[in-house]
Chains A and B, each alone.
Chain A
Amino acid sequence: MKNEHWKSLLLSVVLFAFFIGVWFVATQPKESAQQAAAQDEYAALMGKGAAKSGGFPPPQEIGKAIVTHLSDPFKDNGPNDKGIAIQLGHSLGRVGLGFALAILVALPLGFTIGMSPLLHRALDPFIQVLKPISPLAWMPLALYTIKDSDLSGIFVIFICSVWPMLINTAFGVANVRKDWLNVARTLEVKPLRKALTVILPAAAPTILTGMRISMGIAWLVIVAAEMLVGGTGVGYFVWNEWNNLALPNVIFAILVIGVVGMILDRCFAGLQKLVSYTE
Chain B
Amino acid sequence: MAFLQVDNLAKSYTGNDAPVFENVNFSIEKGEFVCIIGHSGCGKTTILNALAGLENASAGNLIMDGREVVGPGLDRGVVFQSHALMPWMSVIDNVKFGVRSRWPDWSKAQIEAQATQYLEMVGLGHALHKKPSMLSGGMKQRVGIARAFAIQPKMLLLDEPFGALDALTRGTIQDELLKIVQATEQTVFMITHDVDEAILLSDRILLMSNGPRARIAEIVQVTLPRRRTRHDMHHDPRFYRIRNHLVDFLVSRSKDPKPAGEIHPPVVRPGEDEPLTASLAA
Residues of A within 8 A of B (CB): 177, 179-180, 182-183, 185-189, 197-198, 201-202, 204, 275, 277-279
Contacts and interface: CB of A to CB of B under 8 A. Distances in A.
Nearest to B76: A186
B97 A179 contact: no
Interface stretch (B15-23, B80-88, B185-193, B201-209): B80-88
B82 A187 contact: no
Interface of B: 52-54, 71-74, 76-78, 80, 82, 84, 86-89, 97-98, 101-102, 131-133, 151
Given A188-B74, A201-B88, A182 B133 contact: no
Nearest to A204: B88
A188 B102 CA distance: 8
Contact of B54 (A180, A182, A198, A204): A182
23 contacts: A179-B82, A180-B84, A182-B54, A182-B80, A182-B84, A183-B78, A183-B80, A183-B86, A185-B54, A186-B53, A186-B76, A186-B77, A186-B78, A187-B74, A187-B101, A187-B102, A187-B151, A188-B73, A188-B74, A189-B101, A198-B86, A275-B88, A277-B88
A176 to B, nearest CB: 10
Contacts of B78: 182-183, 186
B72 A179 contact: no
A277 B80 contact: no
Nearest to B74: A188
Contacts of B52: 186
Q: Which 8 A-B pairs have the closest CB atoms?
A: A179-B84, A187-B101, A278-B133, A277-B87, A277-B88, A186-B72, A185-B72, A201-B88
Contact of B87 (A182, A187, A188, A279): A279
Nearest to A177: B84
Nearest to A187: B101
A182 B73 CA distance: 11
A202 B80 CA distance: 18
B80 A187 contact: no
Given A185-B54, A189-B101, A197-B97, A202 B88 contact: yes
Given A179-B80, A277-B133, A278-B133, A186 B54 contact: yes
A180 B86 CA distance: 7
Contacts of B151: 187
A185 to B, nearest CB: 4
A275 B87 CA distance: 11
B88 A188 contact: no
B72 A279 contact: no
Nearest to B84: A179
B74 A202 contact: no
Contact of B86 (A201, A275, A278): A201
A277 B133 CA distance: 8
A202 B84 contact: no
B85 to A, nearest CB: 8
Nearest to A275: B88
A187 B97 contact: yes
Contacts of A275: 88
A186 B97 CA distance: 12
A277 B236 CA distance: 48
Contacts of A183: 78, 80, 84, 86
A206 to B, nearest CB: 13
Contacts of B98: 187
B97 to A, nearest CB: 7
Given A183-B80, A183-B84, A188-B101, A277 B72 contact: no
Nearest to B78: A186
Given A186-B78, A279-B87, 5 more contacts: A182-B84, A188-B72, A188-B74, A277-B133, A278-B131
Contacts of A198: 86
A198 B52 CA distance: 20
A180 B73 CA distance: 15
